[in-house]
Homo-oligomer: A and B are copies of this chain.
Amino acid sequence: MGIDERKFRILQAIIDDYILTAIPVGSRTISKKYETSLSSATIRNEMSDLEELGYLDQPHVSAGRVPSPKAYRLYVDQLLQQGKILAANQESIRAHFQDRARQMEDVIGHAAQVLSSLTHYTALVMSPKGTELRVRNVQLVPVSSSSALLVIVTDGGIMRDAVIRVGGEMDVEALYAISRMLTDRLSGRTLSEARQVLSGEPEEASRRQQMLSEIAEFIGEVEKQNAVGKLAVGGSSNILNFPEYSDVEKAKSFLSVLETKEKLLQLLEQNREMAFTVRIGPETGIPELVDCSLVTASYRLGNQTQGTVGVIGPTRMQYGQVLGILRAMGEQLSRLLEQDKE
Protein backbone atom coordinates (compact mmCIF):
# COMPACT_ATOMS: atom_id res chain seq x y z
CA MET A 1 0.00 0.00 0.00
CA GLY A 2 1.54 3.25 -1.08
CA ILE A 3 0.59 6.80 -0.29
CA ASP A 4 -1.45 8.28 -3.11
CA GLU A 5 -2.15 11.89 -3.78
CA ARG A 6 -5.33 12.05 -1.73
CA LYS A 7 -3.70 10.44 1.27
CA PHE A 8 -0.94 12.97 1.02
CA ARG A 9 -3.38 15.85 0.91
CA ILE A 10 -5.13 14.56 3.97
CA LEU A 11 -1.87 14.04 5.79
CA GLN A 12 -0.84 17.55 4.95
CA ALA A 13 -4.13 18.88 6.23
CA ILE A 14 -3.66 17.00 9.48
CA ILE A 15 -0.16 18.35 9.91
CA ASP A 16 -1.21 21.90 9.13
CA ASP A 17 -4.03 21.74 11.59
CA TYR A 18 -1.97 20.13 14.30
CA ILE A 19 0.83 22.64 13.91
CA LEU A 20 -1.67 25.38 14.45
CA THR A 21 -3.65 23.97 17.33
CA ALA A 22 -1.60 21.25 19.03
CA ILE A 23 -4.87 19.36 19.40
CA PRO A 24 -5.12 15.84 18.02
CA VAL A 25 -7.13 16.24 14.86
CA GLY A 26 -10.16 14.15 14.11
CA SER A 27 -11.76 13.03 10.90
CA ARG A 28 -14.63 15.50 11.12
CA THR A 29 -12.29 18.46 11.42
CA ILE A 30 -10.58 17.48 8.19
CA SER A 31 -13.83 16.83 6.41
CA LYS A 32 -15.20 20.20 7.42
CA LYS A 33 -12.18 22.47 7.18
CA TYR A 34 -10.01 20.96 4.48
CA GLU A 35 -11.54 18.23 2.35
CA THR A 36 -15.12 19.40 2.24
CA SER A 37 -15.94 17.07 -0.63
CA LEU A 38 -15.26 14.00 1.44
CA SER A 39 -17.23 12.74 4.38
CA SER A 40 -15.70 12.13 7.73
CA ALA A 41 -16.14 8.40 7.28
CA THR A 42 -13.97 8.40 4.20
CA ILE A 43 -11.37 10.46 5.94
CA ARG A 44 -11.49 7.95 8.76
CA ASN A 45 -10.66 5.15 6.41
CA GLU A 46 -7.77 7.05 4.96
CA MET A 47 -6.51 8.03 8.38
CA SER A 48 -6.64 4.45 9.43
CA ASP A 49 -4.44 3.58 6.46
CA LEU A 50 -2.05 6.42 7.26
CA GLU A 51 -1.74 5.17 10.79
CA GLU A 52 -0.93 1.70 9.56
CA LEU A 53 1.75 3.21 7.35
CA GLY A 54 3.32 4.92 10.34
CA TYR A 55 2.48 8.49 9.49
CA LEU A 56 -0.02 9.01 12.26
CA ASP A 57 -0.16 8.22 15.93
CA GLN A 58 -3.14 8.01 18.16
CA PRO A 59 -2.60 9.22 21.75
CA HIS A 60 -5.47 7.00 22.85
CA VAL A 61 -8.22 5.18 21.12
CA SER A 62 -10.91 7.81 21.17
CA ALA A 63 -8.72 10.77 20.39
CA GLY A 64 -7.83 12.32 17.07
CA ARG A 65 -4.62 11.57 15.22
CA VAL A 66 -1.25 13.21 15.67
CA PRO A 67 1.45 13.32 12.99
CA SER A 68 4.43 11.07 13.66
CA PRO A 69 8.02 12.17 13.07
CA LYS A 70 7.84 10.20 9.84
CA ALA A 71 4.98 12.43 8.72
CA TYR A 72 6.86 15.61 9.51
CA ARG A 73 9.81 14.21 7.66
CA LEU A 74 7.72 13.66 4.55
CA TYR A 75 6.21 17.10 4.92
CA VAL A 76 9.54 18.83 5.27
CA ASP A 77 11.20 16.90 2.47
CA GLN A 78 8.37 17.97 0.24
CA LEU A 79 8.92 21.55 1.35
CA LEU A 80 12.63 21.40 0.68
CA GLN A 81 12.25 19.72 -2.69
CA GLN A 82 9.89 22.32 -3.94
CA GLY A 83 12.59 24.87 -3.28
CA LYS A 84 9.99 27.16 -1.89
CA ILE A 85 12.19 28.42 0.87
CA LEU A 86 12.08 32.09 0.16
CA ALA A 87 14.19 34.40 2.18
CA ALA A 88 11.41 35.94 4.15
CA ASN A 89 11.61 39.04 6.27
CA GLN A 90 14.74 39.99 4.41
CA GLU A 91 14.22 43.65 5.03
CA SER A 92 13.13 43.45 8.63
CA ILE A 93 16.15 41.35 9.46
CA ARG A 94 18.50 43.66 7.69
CA ALA A 95 17.09 46.54 9.69
CA HIS A 96 18.11 44.82 12.89
CA PHE A 97 21.73 44.89 11.84
CA GLN A 98 21.86 48.54 10.97
CA ASP A 99 24.25 49.65 13.62
CA ARG A 100 27.31 47.64 12.78
CA ALA A 101 28.45 45.74 15.77
CA ARG A 102 32.17 45.46 15.93
CA GLN A 103 32.58 42.25 17.78
CA MET A 104 31.51 38.89 16.56
CA GLU A 105 30.12 37.98 19.94
CA ASP A 106 27.76 40.90 19.92
CA VAL A 107 26.64 39.97 16.46
CA ILE A 108 25.71 36.41 17.25
CA GLY A 109 24.02 37.42 20.47
CA HIS A 110 21.98 39.96 18.63
CA ALA A 111 21.18 37.53 15.86
CA ALA A 112 19.91 35.00 18.38
CA GLN A 113 17.60 37.58 19.88
CA VAL A 114 16.21 38.69 16.57
CA LEU A 115 15.74 35.13 15.42
CA SER A 116 13.90 34.09 18.54
CA SER A 117 11.60 37.05 18.47
CA LEU A 118 10.78 36.52 14.79
CA THR A 119 10.09 32.83 15.10
CA HIS A 120 8.83 32.65 18.68
CA TYR A 121 10.98 29.59 19.12
CA THR A 122 14.37 29.21 20.76
CA ALA A 123 17.23 30.39 18.60
CA LEU A 124 20.82 29.18 18.40
CA VAL A 125 23.56 31.02 16.61
CA MET A 126 27.06 29.64 16.28
CA SER A 127 29.97 31.88 15.51
CA PRO A 128 32.59 30.97 12.96
CA LYS A 129 35.04 28.31 14.01
CA GLY A 130 38.65 29.12 13.81
CA THR A 131 40.36 25.92 12.78
CA GLU A 132 41.59 27.18 9.50
CA LEU A 133 42.50 30.67 10.53
CA ARG A 134 45.74 31.94 9.15
CA VAL A 135 48.02 34.29 10.96
CA ARG A 136 48.37 37.73 9.47
CA ASN A 137 50.22 39.62 12.06
CA VAL A 138 51.67 39.17 15.50
CA GLN A 139 52.26 42.01 17.85
CA LEU A 140 53.49 42.36 21.39
CA VAL A 141 52.17 45.41 23.16
CA PRO A 142 53.86 46.46 26.36
CA VAL A 143 51.60 46.38 29.38
CA SER A 144 53.91 46.70 32.30
CA SER A 145 57.66 46.43 32.58
CA SER A 146 57.49 42.70 32.98
CA SER A 147 54.55 41.73 30.83
CA ALA A 148 53.19 42.28 27.39
CA LEU A 149 49.96 41.73 25.59
CA LEU A 150 50.16 39.28 22.76
CA VAL A 151 47.88 40.08 19.87
CA ILE A 152 47.44 37.70 17.01
CA VAL A 153 45.58 38.94 13.98
CA THR A 154 44.16 36.29 11.72
CA ASP A 155 42.44 36.48 8.40
CA GLY A 156 39.04 35.95 9.95
CA GLY A 157 39.40 39.48 11.20
CA ILE A 158 39.27 37.65 14.47
CA MET A 159 41.86 38.20 17.00
CA ARG A 160 42.97 36.75 20.23
CA ASP A 161 44.99 38.16 23.00
CA ALA A 162 46.70 37.20 26.19
CA VAL A 163 49.07 38.67 28.65
CA ILE A 164 52.48 37.11 28.34
CA ARG A 165 55.08 37.40 31.00
CA VAL A 166 58.29 38.83 29.67
CA GLY A 167 61.09 37.52 31.83
CA GLY A 168 62.85 40.64 33.13
CA GLU A 169 62.37 43.99 31.55
CA MET A 170 62.31 44.42 27.86
CA ASP A 171 61.92 47.77 26.24
CA VAL A 172 59.45 48.83 23.64
CA GLU A 173 61.96 48.56 20.85
CA ALA A 174 62.91 45.03 21.73
CA LEU A 175 59.28 43.96 21.80
CA TYR A 176 58.75 45.60 18.50
CA ALA A 177 61.66 43.76 16.98
CA ILE A 178 60.36 40.47 18.24
CA SER A 179 56.92 41.27 16.88
CA ARG A 180 58.33 41.84 13.44
CA MET A 181 60.31 38.67 13.61
CA LEU A 182 57.27 36.67 14.64
CA THR A 183 55.11 38.23 11.97
CA ASP A 184 57.67 37.41 9.32
CA ARG A 185 58.01 33.89 10.50
CA LEU A 186 54.38 33.04 11.10
CA SER A 187 52.23 35.02 8.75
CA GLY A 188 50.35 32.96 6.24
CA ARG A 189 50.48 29.87 8.42
CA THR A 190 47.57 28.27 10.17
CA LEU A 191 47.54 28.35 13.93
CA SER A 192 48.70 24.79 14.31
CA GLU A 193 51.53 25.30 11.85
CA ALA A 194 52.53 28.40 13.73
CA ARG A 195 52.63 26.50 16.96
CA GLN A 196 54.84 23.85 15.43
CA VAL A 197 57.24 26.41 14.07
CA LEU A 198 57.63 27.93 17.51
CA SER A 199 57.96 24.63 19.30
CA GLY A 200 60.54 23.43 16.83
CA GLU A 201 62.95 26.15 17.86
CA PRO A 202 66.30 25.06 19.30
CA GLU A 203 66.30 24.85 23.04
CA GLU A 204 68.30 27.77 24.21
CA ALA A 205 67.20 28.56 27.69
CA SER A 206 67.19 32.26 27.10
CA ARG A 207 64.50 34.63 28.23
CA ARG A 208 63.47 35.04 24.68
CA GLN A 209 63.19 31.36 24.16
CA GLN A 210 61.05 31.03 27.21
CA MET A 211 58.77 33.70 25.95
CA LEU A 212 58.43 32.01 22.60
CA SER A 213 57.40 28.77 24.16
CA GLU A 214 54.86 30.62 26.22
CA ILE A 215 53.49 32.07 23.04
CA ALA A 216 53.35 28.64 21.47
CA GLU A 217 51.45 27.36 24.45
CA PHE A 218 49.01 30.18 24.14
CA ILE A 219 48.43 29.51 20.47
CA GLY A 220 47.61 25.96 21.45
CA GLU A 221 44.99 27.24 23.83
CA VAL A 222 43.52 29.52 21.24
CA GLU A 223 43.30 26.64 18.83
CA LYS A 224 41.49 24.56 21.35
CA GLN A 225 39.11 27.34 22.25
CA ASN A 226 38.50 28.22 18.68
CA ALA A 227 38.02 24.70 17.45
CA VAL A 228 34.52 25.06 18.74
CA GLY A 229 32.71 28.22 17.89
CA LYS A 230 30.98 30.42 20.38
CA LEU A 231 27.31 29.92 20.84
CA ALA A 232 24.51 32.34 21.55
CA VAL A 233 21.08 31.25 22.68
CA GLY A 234 18.03 33.44 22.39
CA GLY A 235 14.50 33.10 23.65
CA SER A 236 14.98 30.07 25.84
CA SER A 237 11.76 30.80 27.61
CA ASN A 238 9.83 30.80 24.37
CA ILE A 239 9.42 27.07 24.66
CA LEU A 240 7.04 27.65 27.54
CA ASN A 241 4.59 29.24 25.14
CA PHE A 242 3.74 25.83 23.80
CA PRO A 243 1.28 23.60 25.58
CA GLU A 244 3.45 20.51 25.05
CA TYR A 245 5.83 22.09 27.55
CA SER A 246 3.34 23.09 30.18
CA ASP A 247 4.68 20.13 32.10
CA VAL A 248 7.38 21.59 34.30
CA GLU A 249 9.53 18.48 34.23
CA LYS A 250 9.67 18.53 30.48
CA ALA A 251 10.41 22.21 30.43
CA LYS A 252 13.20 21.74 32.90
CA SER A 253 14.94 19.04 30.96
CA PHE A 254 14.65 21.11 27.82
CA LEU A 255 16.14 24.16 29.48
CA SER A 256 18.89 22.08 31.00
CA VAL A 257 19.96 21.00 27.56
CA LEU A 258 20.12 24.63 26.53
CA GLU A 259 22.53 25.25 29.35
CA THR A 260 25.04 22.66 28.27
CA LYS A 261 26.46 24.42 25.31
CA GLU A 262 28.73 21.56 24.37
CA LYS A 263 25.83 19.36 23.37
CA LEU A 264 24.29 22.14 21.36
CA LEU A 265 27.51 22.92 19.58
CA GLN A 266 27.95 19.30 18.70
CA LEU A 267 24.43 19.32 17.34
CA LEU A 268 25.08 22.36 15.21
CA GLU A 269 28.33 20.89 13.97
CA GLN A 270 26.65 17.93 12.34
CA ASN A 271 26.00 18.44 8.66
CA ARG A 272 27.38 21.91 8.89
CA GLU A 273 28.09 21.88 5.20
CA MET A 274 24.43 21.60 4.33
CA ALA A 275 22.61 24.79 3.48
CA PHE A 276 19.68 23.55 5.55
CA THR A 277 19.13 20.70 7.93
CA VAL A 278 15.96 19.67 9.63
CA ARG A 279 16.11 17.17 12.46
CA ILE A 280 12.82 15.97 13.74
CA GLY A 281 12.25 14.53 17.20
CA PRO A 282 14.41 11.45 17.70
CA GLU A 283 16.60 12.49 14.78
CA THR A 284 18.25 15.04 17.04
CA GLY A 285 19.85 12.18 18.92
CA ILE A 286 19.27 13.88 22.25
CA PRO A 287 16.79 12.13 24.50
CA GLU A 288 15.60 15.34 26.12
CA LEU A 289 14.68 16.70 22.74
CA VAL A 290 12.55 13.79 21.51
CA ASP A 291 9.60 16.01 20.87
CA CYS A 292 11.52 18.92 19.54
CA SER A 293 12.77 19.70 16.11
CA LEU A 294 15.94 21.48 15.21
CA VAL A 295 16.15 23.43 11.99
CA THR A 296 19.43 24.94 10.94
CA ALA A 297 20.88 26.94 8.12
CA SER A 298 24.50 27.74 7.46
CA TYR A 299 26.12 31.00 6.62
CA ARG A 300 29.14 31.21 4.46
CA LEU A 301 32.11 33.17 3.34
CA GLY A 302 32.94 32.32 -0.21
CA ASN A 303 32.27 28.64 -0.46
CA GLN A 304 33.15 27.75 3.05
CA THR A 305 30.61 27.30 5.80
CA GLN A 306 31.49 29.66 8.59
CA GLY A 307 28.78 29.02 11.08
CA THR A 308 25.27 27.91 11.68
CA VAL A 309 22.01 29.47 12.78
CA GLY A 310 19.25 27.32 14.11
CA VAL A 311 15.89 27.17 15.75
CA ILE A 312 14.59 24.66 18.26
CA GLY A 313 10.90 24.22 18.83
CA PRO A 314 8.27 21.57 19.24
CA THR A 315 8.09 18.98 16.46
CA ARG A 316 4.93 20.68 15.27
CA MET A 317 6.95 23.61 14.10
CA GLN A 318 6.06 26.08 11.39
CA TYR A 319 8.74 24.59 9.20
CA GLY A 320 8.06 26.65 6.13
CA GLN A 321 8.15 29.95 7.88
CA VAL A 322 11.15 29.03 10.01
CA LEU A 323 13.13 27.88 7.01
CA GLY A 324 12.40 31.15 5.30
CA ILE A 325 13.52 33.21 8.24
CA LEU A 326 16.62 31.11 8.77
CA ARG A 327 17.55 31.52 5.17
CA ALA A 328 17.22 35.26 5.41
CA MET A 329 19.24 35.32 8.59
CA GLY A 330 21.95 33.15 7.06
CA GLU A 331 22.22 35.42 4.08
CA GLN A 332 22.38 38.45 6.29
CA LEU A 333 25.21 36.99 8.33
CA SER A 334 27.08 35.93 5.22
CA ARG A 335 26.81 39.45 3.95
CA LEU A 336 28.09 40.77 7.24
CA LEU A 337 31.16 38.54 7.07
CA GLU A 338 31.72 39.59 3.50
CA GLN A 339 31.83 43.24 4.35
CA ASP A 340 33.97 42.68 7.42
CA LYS A 341 36.47 41.00 5.23
CA GLU A 342 36.32 44.03 2.96
| Given A142-B137, A252-B237, A340-B163 contact (CB < 8 Å) | yes
A10 to chain B, nearest CB (A): 33
The size bracket of the interface on A is: 35 or more
Query: Hey, which chain B residues are within 8 Å of A207, CB to CB?
Result: none
A157 at the interface (CB under 8 A from B): yes
How would residues 215 to 236 of chain A score, 1 for a CB under 8 Å from any chain B CB and 0 otherwise? Answer: 0001001000000000000111
Query: Hey, which chain B residues are within 8 Å of A252, CB to CB?
Result: 237, 240-241
A191 to chain B, nearest CB (A): 15
Q: How far is the CA of A81 from the CA of B143 in the complex (A)?
A: 43
A290 at the interface (CB under 8 A from B): no
How would residues 34 to 76 of chain A score, 1 for a CB under 8 Å from any chain B CB and 0 otherwise? Answer: 0000000000000000000000000000000000000000000
A201 at the interface (CB under 8 A from B): no
A255 nearest in chain B by CB position: B237
Q: Which of B142, B144, B159, B251 contacts A149 (CB 8 A)?
A: B159
A247 nearest in chain B by CB position: B248
A261 nearest in chain B by CB position: B109
A257 nearest in chain B by CB position: B237
- CB proximity to B under 8 Å, residues A138-175: 139, 141-144, 146-147, 149, 151, 153, 157, 159, 161-163, 172
Q: How far is the CA of A159 from the CA of B142 in the complex (A)?
A: 12
Q: Which of B105, B172, B259 contacts A237 (CB 8 A)?
A: B259
Query: Hey, which chain B residues are within 8 Å of A234, CB to CB?
Result: 259
- CB proximity to B under 8 Å, residues A162-198: 162-163, 172, 176, 180
A246 at the interface (CB under 8 A from B): yes
A157 to chain B, nearest CB (A): 6
Q: How far is the CA of A172 from the CA of B153 in the complex (A)?
A: 14
A342 nearest in chain B by CB position: B147
A33 at the interface (CB under 8 A from B): no
A138 nearest in chain B by CB position: B141
Query: Hey, which chain B residues are within 8 Å of A159, CB to CB?
Result: 149, 161
How would residues 322 to 342 of chain A score, 1 for a CB under 8 Å from any chain B CB and 0 otherwise? Answer: 000000000000000000101
Q: How far is the CA of A221 from the CA of B342 in the complex (A)?
A: 21
Enumerate 8 A-B pairs (CB-CB under 8 Å) in ascending A order: A159-B161, A176-B176, A236-B255, A237-B251, A237-B255, A237-B258, A237-B259, A240-B248
